[in-house]
Structure 1
């Protein structure tokens, strides 16, 4: 069987990407670049990453010879498909209804996961409280990558 046919589709949460951006060779960064997965990210997530630009840049600056934030985000997002809201807007209302009492800011991630019929990779425990799609932590993703 070809490797491409084995790829697992997963919606990736911003907290995972931020962790991968802080340290280029972290476990999270290596998984994002792993061709075992197809990662998807709602376009809204770029706004969240931009809010943390200074924080990420400060953390990256502590690593000698670390590439710039812009280089790192371009390199990392090369392995992630950004999906415009128009393609998953059919699931936003359903996702919001589920996330309203948990964390409404994560509605786009759940809506995209519902649209793609895919799980979410997040280390935010509150996303595990929703009941519509599986949500995997980094440790659980690690076990999936070993399959």
Structure 2
């Protein structure tokens, strides 16, 4: 299953050893995120470390592990879809425009996010963590 992943999911996986982290590290999923993620990680890394159960070095190792699993897509790969993405979600949350643009630019099954406002648009399928847990546990058949 190929998903665009929202920054809030990645941060959840970094902060806590949870089912979210297990899904992020699972070989059954491919994850993509816009390079806007790098800005957010730099901005919130100190905060993440305060919530993380480990050392700065432990967090860096985990970030490296996740970066081996998550493809960070440069803006030029989805920039041609930014205008349409702006129309779809820009008025709801401008920070989410790159995620919609990326979803419109590459073949994927949808976006995994905790932000309910993504459900106010209908161009891209949205998956919650509950949805992904069900897929991970084999309770819902994933669509390729």
TM-score by length of 1: 0.87
Show the counterpart of 2:131: 140
For each residue in 1:113-133, what CA deviation from the matched residue of structure 2 results, as whole angstroms up to 9, or x when unmatched? 111242000001111212110
Q: CA RMSD in A?
A: 1.5
Which of these residues, 63, 85, 89, is aligned with residue 79 of structure 2?
89
Q: Quote the offset at 1:48 in angstroms.
A: 1.1
Q: Which runs of 5+ in 2 are unaligned?
A: none
| 1:105 matched to 2:90 | no
C-alpha contact (below 8 Å) 2:49/2:56 kept by paired residues: no
C-alpha contact (below 8 Å) 1:20/1:26 kept by paired residues: yes
Q: Quote the offset at 1:71 in angstroms.
A: 1.8
Distance 1:59 1:76 in 2: 17
C-alpha contact (below 8 Å) 2:34/2:72 kept by paired residues: yes
Show the counterpart of 2:113: 122
* 1:21-60 correspondence to structure 2 within 5 Å: 21-23=14-16, 25-60=17-52
Distance 2:131 2:123 in 1: 18
Tell me the matched-pair count: 137
With over 3 angstroms needed to count, the CA separation of the structure-2 counterparts of 1:90 and 1:21, relative to structure 1, is: same
Distance 2:42 2:59 in 1: 10
Q: Quote the offset at 1:90 in angstroms.
A: 1.4
Which of these residues, 9, 16, 21, is aligned with residue 16 of structure 1?
9
With over 3 angstroms needed to count, the CA separation of the structure-2 counterparts of 1:12 and 1:64, relative to structure 1, is: closer
